Structures are given as C-alpha cells and as structure tokens.
Amino acid sequence: MTIFRSEDGLVGLIALALIPWIGWTVRRGLKYGKLPIGRSYVRRDERPGVYRALLGLWVAMAVISAMIGLDLLFGFDVRFRL
C-alpha cells in the first residue's frame, strides 16, 4: 500500500487496461500461429514447445495483471490469501 490512494488507483487502472491488449495478442497469436517475443515471433509450426510455453506466459501475464488491478482498485488483498 502506498501513501496516496490515488497512486494505487492509477496503477490498478493501468494493470486492468493491459488485459484487453494481452487478450488481443493471444487471440491474434492463436489465429495466425505466431506469438511476439521482443521484435521477433515464435511460430507454432516451427517450434511448438516454445510456442506453448510462450502462450502460457502470455496467459499468466493476463491473470497476474488482473489480480494486481483488482487488488489495487478494490483492496482484495490477494497476496495474503494465496
């Protein structure tokens, strides 16, 4: 918890605003068979294991971003419940 509640709200809104972008990236990656990593792409047909691992990381990033946003905006204290 920071000193100012407005800082928590701002960071929470930014964390929740990332979720549609992550979802769009994952949906595009599933549709076209390639996921971005840095400035390059991992293709599903060339490296299926790396593609699945990267897809898992993208999904984990969306879940963690949602947890952070909800915790900061609504004070769920998720870190103490896990």
| pLDDT digits 0-9 by tens, 8-66 | 889 899 999 999 999 999 999 999 999 999 899 999 999 999 999 999 999 999 999 99
Residue 54: how many other CB atoms lie within 10 Å: 20
Supply the range of the domain harboring residue 28: 5-74
- CA dist 37 and 23 (Å) reads 15
Model pLDDT, residue 33 = 94
pTM: 0.82
Q: How many domains does the chain have?
A: 1
Is residue 11, in this structure, part of any structural domain at all?
yes
Is residue 81, in this structure, part of any structural domain at all?
no
The letter for the amino acid at 67 is: M
The residue among 22 and 7 whose pLDDT is bigger is 22
Is residue 32, in this structure, part of any structural domain at all?
yes
Model pLDDT, residue 72 = 86
Enumerate the β-bridge partners of residue 41.
36
